[in-house]
Structure formats: structure tokens, C-alpha cells
Amino acid sequence: MRLVMLGAPGAGKGTQAVVLSKKLQIPHISTGDIFRKNIKNETPLGKLAKQYIDSGALVPDEVTVGIVKDRLAEPDCANGFILDGFPRTIPQAESLDRILEELG
């Protein structure tokens, strides 16, 4: 099962995603969490994202999409996942469609 949680900031997406993740036994994938993990681990995409964040700029869609794509390709996502905070833009949504097609 693949779920995408959409809503305004503070609407409770993350809270509900955690509950569903436990009930459905699929990972809860928060874009904020995976950004922090990639930055902490100094991955190439994490370093790139940090440059944008440190300069006060928005992280471009292609960087965000790359980080999400890498996370969705991990083995624990094989049986599904809950996305929280992605997609936020139409290009991100279109990229998500392509990623899901690639993953099968």
C-alpha cells in the first residue's frame, strides 16, 4: 500500500501517518526526516540540500525528488510506504508518478 498524506502545515498529517504506519506496518517517510538524515550522513544529495538551506533558499525539486527516490528504493518500502510532506509541487507529483512506475 502506498499512501500520500497531503494537507496544510499543522493539519495533523505527520500524526496520522505515524498511526497508520504502525497499524499497516509500512514505513512513514517524512521529507523533513530524510533531509535531516541525508544532511547528517553527508550524502551527496544531503550536502547539496544543505547548501541551499544554509543560504536560505528553497531546495530545488530535483534535489528533493532525488532524496525521496533514493529513500523509496530502500528494501523496507517494497511492501508500501506513507509519504508525508511530498509532493508539494506539480513537478514533484509528476516525478513521483515516474518514480512509482520505475519501482513497479
| pLDDT for the residue 9 | 84
What is the DSSP code string of 2-35? EEEE---TTSSHHHHHHHHHHHHT--EEEHHHHH
Give me the tens of pLDDT residue by residue for the chain, a chain 104 residues long. 999 999 888 899 999 999 999 999 999 999 999 999 999 999 999 999 999 999 999 999 999 999 999 999 999 999 999 999 899 999 999 999 999 999 88
Give me the CATH number covering residue 14.
3.40.50.300
Write out the residue range of the structural domain in which residue 21 sits.
2-103
How many domains does the structure of the chain reveal?
Answer: 1
Residue 104 pLDDT: 83
